[in-house]
Chain A
Amino acid sequence: MSLQTNNGTSSHSPLVCLQSLNKEYGNFTAVDHINLNIQKGEFLTFLGSSGSGKSTTLSMIAGFETPTSGEILLNEHSLIQIPSHKRGIGMVFQHYSLFPHMNVRDNIGFPLDIRKIPKAERDKKVDDILKLVQLETFADRRPSMLSGGQKQRVAIARALVYEPDILLMDEPLGALDKKLREDLQDELRLLHKRLGITIIYVTHDQDEAMRLSERIAIFKEGKIVGLGTGKDLYRKPPNAFVASFLGSSNFLKVKVSGPNSATFEGQTIQLDSEHDVPFNQQALLMIRPENLQVLSEDQATQSPIQTDENEAFGTVNESVFLGESLTCSITTADGSLVTSKSIATDLPEIEPGAKVRLRWKVQHSSVYSKWERSDIEKDAS
C-alpha cells in the first residue's frame, strides 16, 4: 500500500515492509496475513503473549522461517528468496547464543571476519564497540566466564558491529532478573537514541514494551490487533483486547442510545465522540482504574458533577492501601465489579460497605461494539 507513492523518496518509504505475511504450520496459522511498515530509525516492539505469532514474524524477517505466503521488503527489495546470512540483519537472541569456543573479542569480531574486513580495521571496530557496551576489560574472557547481563551486552555488540540495517531482538532480556533487566532497558533506549538504528524488539512484557519502544504492535493469534505509540494504545485502545492486555481496565456493559450517549444501569451517560456502535445495541465501556474517581456521598454533594463527567453509584467491597496508591473494589448498583486506583496522598479512608459515587471524564472512556469473553475476563482469570 505504501509502495503506491511514486514520488516517494527513500526517506519516505519504510525500511521494512511486511505485506500480507502469512505462516502456517499444517492447520495452525501462526501468523495471519500481517501488514506492517517499519520506518528507518524506529524502535518498534512486537508485544503479545506466547504463541501470538510475534517471534515467528521476527524469525521470518531474520530468515529462519520461510513465509507460507506474503512478502517482506527491506529497502523495497524482497527478502523472501535471500538466505539469512545475506540479509544484513543483526539479531540478539533470548539466550544470548554466543559462540562458546571464542572469547568476547572473537565473538564480536566474527561477523567482521566473515566479511573479510582487514585486521586493523576489524580490531578497531571491535574495540570501539567494546567501549560502547562497556566491556573493554572482559575482551579476552570466554562467554562462560561472564554474567547474564554481560553476555547479553556481548550479543548486542556482536549484532551491532557490522552496522546492520535493522537490529532484531527476540526477548533479549527475558532471562535476566528484574533489576538488571531495567538497567539494560535504559541502556538499550540510550543506545537506540545514540546510534539511530532501527530496532524490532519482541517481548511479552508490557512494561518493557512501554519503557523502550516508540511504537508497539500488539499481537493476538497471529494478527496485529493494535499498532501505535504506547501512550495512544493505553489511552485509546482500539479494541477490548488491547485495553485488557495493556494495563488493567474496567469493562461496563452499556446500551448505546445516541451518537454520544448510552444508558448504564438505567442512567444516561455520555460517550466520547463518535463510535461505530449501532443504536440500541449492547456495547462495552472501558475505563482505566486510575481514571475512576471515587467520592463519598458527602464529597459528592460538595463538589458538583462537571459537564464532561459521568456518574454511577456503587458500594465499596474492599479498599487496599498500596503505599503510593489506593485501590478500591466497588460493586455498582446492578452488580458490575469495578476497580479504582487513586494516588493515595491525602485520601480519606473508604470503609467497606460505604455508598460511593464513581465519576469519570467522558474522554477517558472508550466504547467497543465487539468483544470476546476472553478479552475482558483476562484479569479475573
Chain B
Amino acid sequence: MYMTLSRKKWREGTLLIPILLFLCVFFLIPLAGLLLRSLTEPSFGLQNFEQLLATSTYVQVLSNTFLVATLVTVISLVLGFPLAWCITLMPNGWGRWLLGVILLSMWTSLLARTYSWLVLLQTSGVINKTLMAIGIIDEPITMVHNLTGVIIGMSYIMIPFVVLPLQACMSAIDPMVLQAASICGAPARTVFFRIFLPLCKPGLFSGALMVFVMSLGYYVTPALLGGVENMMLPEFIVQQIQTFLNWGLASASAALLIILTIVMFYFYLKVQTDSPVSTNTGA
C-alpha cells in the first residue's frame, strides 16, 4: 500500500522535469558560472574571499549590511505585529480592506515609493519643516543619505512581508483558545505571552526570515536613501562590477550572500520543526 503510494508519487514527480530543466538552464547554470568566477578570477584560489574578509572597508560594508538587515527585521516585526493583529481583529470586511491597502502599497512602484521617502526625509523635506515649525527641533535632522534613511525606507517596504504571513497565522488561531486560557485563570498578559505569542511563532519566524534575507540583498532603497560612506553589500557588488570590472570580488560577495541565506534557512528549518498553525483549531 505504502509502496504503491510512493511509486505513484514518484511517477507524478516526473511531471516536474520541465520546470526543473528550465530552472537548471536559466538559473542554476548561470548562478554556478557566476559563483565560479569568485574562485577563478583573476586566478584560481580563495583570494577574493580573503580580500573581502580582511580589508577593513569591506568588512565595514558587511557589518553595515547585517546591521541594517537586523534593524529592519526588528522594526518590521515591532510595527508589523500590531498591524497584523489589528487586521485580524477588525470586524467583518474591514480587515480585508486594510489588507488591500497594504497590498496596494506593495504594488506601487518601488522607485516611486523610495523617492517619496526622499522628499519626506530630506533636509528641506516635509518632516523636517514640520518639526521645525512646531519647534521640536531648531535645525534640520539629517535623515537621508545615511543608514537612518536606509532603515526607515526599507522598514516601510518590508512591513507587508511581515504582516502577510503573520496575519495568516493569527487568523488561524482559534479565539476560543484564548478564552480557554482566560477561564483557566490566566490574566491578559499571560494569555498573550504564554498562548498568543507562541501560536504566532511560525508567522513571526517566516516573516522575519523573509525580511532579513531580502534586506541582505536589497539594492534600490539603500542606493537612493543611503550615503556613499555607508555602503551595503549589493551596492558594493554593483560598484565592483560597474566601476572596477572586478568580477571576482563581486562574485565572492554574491557567494557570501547566498551562503549566509542558506545558513539562515537551515537554522530556520531547525527551529521551526513543527507548525502549530495547522493544528490550531485543535481539531
Contacts and interface: CB of A to CB of B under 8 A. Distances in A.
A185 B276 CA distance: 30
B187 A85 contact: yes
A105 interface: no
A142 B186 CA distance: 21
| Residue of A64, A88, A100 most packed against chain B (CB within 10 A) | A100
Interface in B86-101: none
Given A114-B190, A144-B279, A99 B181 contact: yes
A167 to B, nearest CB: 11
Contacts of A63: 182-183
A110 B198 CA distance: 14
Interface residues of A, number: 35
Given A97-B176, A97-B179, A100-B276, A151 B184 contact: no
A180 to B, nearest CB: 14
Given A93-B176, A114-B190, A100 B184 contact: no
Nearest to A170: B176
Interface in A303-323: none
A98 interface: yes
B180 A101 contact: no
A143 interface: yes
Contacts of A124: none
Interface in B183-198: 183-188, 190-191, 194-195, 198
B185 A114 contact: yes
A62 B183 contact: yes
B199 interface: yes
B44 to A, nearest CB: 51
Interface in B148-195: 174, 176-177, 179-188, 190-191, 194-195
A89 B199 contact: no
B206 interface: no
B183 A90 contact: yes
A74 B146 CA distance: 63
Interface of A: 62-64, 83-91, 93, 95-101, 110-111, 114-115, 142-144, 148, 151, 155, 158-159, 162, 168, 175
11 contacts: A64-B182, A87-B183, A89-B183, A93-B176, A96-B283, A97-B282, A101-B199, A101-B201, A111-B185, A114-B186, A159-B184
Given A93-B176, A115-B185, 5 more contacts: A85-B185, A91-B183, A101-B201, A143-B282, A175-B283
